[in-house]
């Protein structure tokens, strides 16, 4: 068993992968040598698979998971969890928008007893550099999620999260989204399960040509908005079904008591 599994999901990020993986290795080895670094390479078409394979031969702790077809961020992370061996499961966006100096704190907070620790760009102490329209979009999105789910989490989508392995396994099969909304759904469901979640302030700088800067901000926001509504409806139905089952069980017990 490893202390830590770090997963880096990638799609068509050959140059960035080549440059940033050694940086992650250098940082994690300040905290532990007993780790694995999984490159979850999601059906890339630009040679990222070849770069990932080469890195896995150069560094003994690297595991390359290649998927022939693009699965989506969420599904790629789920498959990585299935193959991982770490007591702590961490995933980091390959663009390293979040300063790696916070990696040690993710691990320390998990070891202090938290089930999930997430980098946050929305709490006191965070330092963020990004263009205004994306700041506004992120603020509106997180406000919507807090309004819908009342989970108290300030930043759902930062690609810098750590999970206690056993805690994540309790909720992973319930998470249905396979794309970018996965980050939000896993936290909403974790909160609903009563898992202990800690947000830590991070320094975050949006790199040029990052995955966030390349998406269509309006199309992506629309998709995530409908994903949020879909989850809200699903959770409402799940809660209603639980209440019905509980009431039914209570009636059966009462009926049984009368018969006695």
Would you state the pLDDT for residue 6?
A: 99
Q: Answer whether residue 57 shows pLDDT above 60.
A: yes
Beta bridge partners of 41: 10, 66
Would you state the pLDDT for residue 210?
A: 57
Whole-number Cα distances in Å, 37 to 24, 55, 65 = 9, 11, 10
Token pair for 38: 């999984």
Place of tokens 């979640």: 197
Q: How many domains does the chain have?
A: 1
The CATH number of whichever domain residue 171 belongs to comes to 3.90.550.10
Residues 6 or more apart whose CB falls under 8 angstroms from that of 207 comprise 95, 96, 97, 213
Q: What is the rounded (10 degree) CA torsion for 98, 152, 184, 187?
A: 90
Question: Could you give the CA distance from residue 73 to residue 237 in angstroms, rounded to a whole number?
Answer: 26
Range of the domain at 96: 2-259
| Model confidence pLDDT, tens digit, residues 13-49 | 999 999 999 999 999 999 999 999 999 999 999 999 9
Active site residues: 183
Question: Could you give the CA distance from residue 120 to residue 59 in angstroms, rounded to a whole number?
Answer: 30
Would you state the pLDDT for residue 219?
A: 62
């Amino acid at each position: 068993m490893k202390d830590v599994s770090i997963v880096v999901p990638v799609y068509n990020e050959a140059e960035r992968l080549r440059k940033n993986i050694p940086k992650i290795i250098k940082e994690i080895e300040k905290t532990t040598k007993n780790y694995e670094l999984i490159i979850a390479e999601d059906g890339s078409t630009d040679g990222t698979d070849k770069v990932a394979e080469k890195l896995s031969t150069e560094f003994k702790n690297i595991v390359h998971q290649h998927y022939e077809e693009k699965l989506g961020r969420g599904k790629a992370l789920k498959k990585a969890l299935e193959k991982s061996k770490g007591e702590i499961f961490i995933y980091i966006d390959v663009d390293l928008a979040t300063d790696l100096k916070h990696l040690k704190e993710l691990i320390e907070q998990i070891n202090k007893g938290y089930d999930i620790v997430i980098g946050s760009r929305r709490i006191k102490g965070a330092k963020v550099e990004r263009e205004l329209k994306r700041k506004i979009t992120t603020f509106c999105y997180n406000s919507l999620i807090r309004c819908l789910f009342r989970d108290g989490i300030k930043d759902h989508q930062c690609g810098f999260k750590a999970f206690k392995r056993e805690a994540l396994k309790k909720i992973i099969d319930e998470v249905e989204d396979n794309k970018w909304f996965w980050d939000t759904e896993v936290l909403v469901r974790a909160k609903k399960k009563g898992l202990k979640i800690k947000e830590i302030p991070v320094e975050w700088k949006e790199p040029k040509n990052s995955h966030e800067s390349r998406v269509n901000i309006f199309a992506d926001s629309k998709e995530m908005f409908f994903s949020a509504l879909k989850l809200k409806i699903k959770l409402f139905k799940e809660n209603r079904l639980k209440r019905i089952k509980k009431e039914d069980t209570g009636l059966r017990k009462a009926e049984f008591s009368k018969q006695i």
